[in-house]
Amino acid sequence: MKYASPLKMNKEDSAITKVLGKAKYFGIYNDETNQIEVIENMETGGPAFFTELKKHHVDVLLTPHAGPGAVNGAAQFGIPMFYCGDERKVLLEAVKEFQEGKYPQITAENFQQFR
């Protein structure tokens, strides 16, 4: 399974950023290979970054923020989003907490509480 989060810097151990569509980088963790890949976000916002996540076969997006564009993009590309909290953490911490069932899914019905 592949997990993605928006990152502040182009480093595997970078903190997850609170911006989503305008994040400069995305970290992608593959739990089969136990490797993290950092990709640059070439989009300027909105749901367009989901195209790149889909190309990298991302299964789940872990994020501390989601607006209506992200909700629509997630639905369009079939990548569910989960709220990973506002506290500082790195991608591997977020994946572990997700696997423990700690994160609620972000949907069209509840995204306003994660803005």
Cα–Cα distance list, 87 to 45, 64, 65, 108, 112 (Å): 23, 9, 12, 23, 18
Question: Domain limits at 101?
Answer: 2-114
Predicted pLDDT of residue 46: 67
Return the CATH number at 38: 3.30.420.130
pLDDT tens-digit map of 82-108: 999 999 999 999 999 999 999 999 999
Query: How does residue 114 score in pLDDT terms, banded at 50, 70 and 90?
Result: confident
Q: Residue 67: in which H helix or E strand, if any?
A: none
pLDDT tens-digit map of 32-90: 999 999 999 988 766 789 999 999 999 999 999 998 999 999 999 999 999 999 999 99
Q: Is 0.75 topped by the overall pTM?
A: yes
Q: Look at the chain and report how many structural domains it folds into.
A: 1
